[in-house]
């Protein structure tokens, strides 16, 4: 079959490009190996379902161990993802020039693919090919590090029985977020992290607020822990690790391996197309997301960029600008990209920490207050969670915001405003003196920025 465009993987960037080009009259093949992944990872196994589970955990008044409530929450999660998956399927399948092909694709040449499903195979050629195959979990190089049974990824753990004791290997974004969530479902949670502390790249006072909220839920953090081996015993899982030069063992009902993710290029046979990869295994792209083969682009996690759905969406804007626009948009246009770890309360950040700003040569002013001390921020108190901190780093010479770290109710919304201000050169003084809705979490900026 011949197409104008072939998209491998139904991720955010790929499906957006497919829809836009199909509506422009191009013939498009959307190739997805799993019918359970129509719409991409975000709506099926990542952003949406995990946040649904987090919400269900947060609204439960009692935090005792309750497998029945967890099962009900999973059912709600599944209903939500099923509805969104169907909607995403229709958004492409209902377009006249889109052909959905179920199967696993591999390159046979620069613009040719072989798509296989069981005993069936289909040859596909396209002038333009978009690779959007995402990422897969990174496993530690230690004995027993295999998935299955009591050993889980962030995907499989969502449908496992609620563990009485969950061991999490890794203190990064996924590990910390799942620790917060499962503790609120009543699980005992132990986090093993090899770094001096989890969130070790963040300012200490900000990270401490996240740790305090985890401790409130009963999470045990073990820093400086080097995992030696994992094993599944008859009635539990065990993780052996080195801590303070001594071997330790922790046993639990389930283990979440949360050591980051790597680009998913397995099975694509990129060499057959002449597509180059980086030292980390990502598909090598330029600032316009073009690979080493003309007409072939890589978007989302597979190109080695920041692993966020909204970055994949921005990737689609860049590629579409090459194919249908002026061709001027690039990854260099990205400034002040925010992120959030959906702990309770959520931790959101953008830009530089204090240490990073000083290392970059800035003389800084620091606006910082604990949420409980901010008089002009009643919303966290209204909803019953006044924990957290707001910290904003400002360049002393220009009054421009260099970075912000927010740990509080609604921080995932407030951080977008701060990021927008950074992108458009809005000064700290302007944010300080802006009129905000009352009561809201945003109005904290009035008081916090007035402290410098």
* Residue 438 known to be catalytic: yes
Active-site pick, 111, 152, 362, 438:
438
According to DSSP, the residues that pair with 296 across neighbouring strands are: 129
Q: Is 281 annotated as contributing to ligand binding?
A: no
Q: Is 51 annotated as contributing to ligand binding?
A: yes
Q: Is 180 annotated as contributing to ligand binding?
A: no
Q: 3-class secondary structure for 228-293? A: EEEEECCCCEEEEEEECCEEEEEEECEEEECCCEEECCCCCCHHHCCCCECCCCCECCCCCCECCC
- Spatial contact of 179 and 219, defined as CB atoms under 8 Å apart: yes
128 Cα distance to chain centroid: 28
Q: Is 148 annotated as contributing to ligand binding?
A: no
Q: Is 87 annotated as contributing to ligand binding?
A: no
Q: Is 401 annotated as contributing to ligand binding?
A: no
Q: Is 173 annotated as contributing to ligand binding?
A: yes
Greatest Cα pair distance, the chain, in angstroms, is 68
Q: Is 19 annotated as contributing to ligand binding?
A: no
List, as one string, the DSSP characters of 4-30. Answer: EEEEES--HHHHHHHHHHHHTT--EEE
Q: List, in sequence order, every beta strand (DSSP E) within 33-160.
A: 98-102, 104-109, 112-117, 120-131, 135-137, 151-152
For residue 260, CA distances in Å to 215, 263, 320 come to 23, 10, 29
According to DSSP, the residues that pair with 298 across neighbouring strands are: 131
Q: Is 108 annotated as contributing to ligand binding?
A: no
Q: Is 176 annotated as contributing to ligand binding?
A: yes
Q: Is 321 annotated as contributing to ligand binding?
A: no
Q: Is 134 annotated as contributing to ligand binding?
A: yes
- Spatial contact of 378 and 436, defined as CB atoms under 8 Å apart: no
Q: Is 171 annotated as contributing to ligand binding?
A: yes
184 Cα distance to chain centroid: 21
Q: Is 135 annotated as contributing to ligand binding?
A: yes
Known binding site: residues? 51, 133-135, 170-177, 260, 301
Tell me the catalytic residues: 438
Known binding site for NAD(+): residues? 170-177, 260
Known binding site for FAD: residues? 51, 133-135, 301
């Amino acid at each position: 079959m011949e197409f104008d465009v072939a998209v491998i993987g139904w991720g955010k960037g790929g499906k957006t490009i497919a829809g836009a080009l199909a509506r422009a009259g191009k013939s498009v093949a959307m190739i997805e190996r799993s019918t359970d992944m129509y719409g991409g990872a975000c709506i099926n196994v990542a952003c949406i379902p995990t946040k649904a589970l987090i919400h269900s955990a947060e609204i439960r008044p009692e935090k005792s161990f309750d497998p029945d409530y967890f099962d009900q929450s999973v059912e709600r999660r599944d209903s939500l993802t099923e509805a969104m998956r169907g909607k995403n399927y229709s958004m492409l399948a209902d377009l006249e020039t889109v052909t959905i092909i179920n199967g696993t694709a591999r390159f046979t040449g620069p613009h040719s693919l072989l798509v296989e499903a069981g005993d069936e195979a289909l040859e596909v050629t396209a002038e333009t090919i978009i690779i959007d195959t995402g990422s897969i979990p990174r496993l530690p190089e230690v004995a027993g590090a295999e998935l299955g049974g009591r050993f889980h990824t962030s995907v499989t753990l969502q449908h496992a029985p609620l563990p009485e004791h969950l061991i999490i290997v890794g203190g990064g974004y996924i590990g910390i977020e799942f620790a917060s969530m499962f503790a609120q479902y009543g699980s005992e949670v132990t986090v093993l992290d090899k770094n001096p502390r989890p969130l070790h790249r963040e300012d200490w006072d900000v990270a401490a607020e996240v740790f305090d909220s985890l401790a409130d839920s009963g999470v045990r953090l073990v820093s400086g822990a080097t995992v030696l081996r994992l094993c599944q015993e008859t009635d539990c899982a065990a993780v052996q690790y080195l801590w303070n030069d001594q071997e330790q063992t922790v046993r639990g009902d389930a283990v979440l391996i949360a050591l980051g993710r790597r680009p998913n290029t397995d099975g694509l046979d990129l060499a057959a197309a002449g597509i180059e990869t980086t030292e980390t295994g990502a598909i090598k792209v330029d600032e316009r997301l073009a690979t080493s083969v003309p007409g072939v682009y890589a978007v989302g996690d597979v190109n080695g960029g920041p692993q966020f759905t909204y970055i994949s969406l921005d990737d689609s804007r860049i590629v579409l600008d090459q194919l249908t626009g002026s061709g001027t948009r690039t990854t260099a246009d990205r400034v002040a990209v925010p992120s959030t770890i959906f702990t309770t309360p959520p931790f959101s950040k953008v830009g530089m920490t204090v240490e990073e700003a000083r290392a970059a040569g800035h003389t800084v002013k620091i606006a910082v207050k604990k949420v409980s001390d901010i008089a002009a921020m009643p919303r966290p108190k209204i909803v019953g969670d006044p924990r957290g901190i707001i910290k904003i780093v400002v360049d002393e010479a220009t009054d421009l915001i260099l970075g912000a770290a927010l740990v509080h109710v609604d921080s995932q919304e407030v951080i977008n405003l701060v990021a927008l201000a950074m992108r458009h050169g809005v000064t700290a003084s302007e944010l300080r003196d802006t009129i905000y809705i009352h009561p809201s979490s945003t109005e904290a900026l009035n008081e916090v920025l007035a402290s410098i």
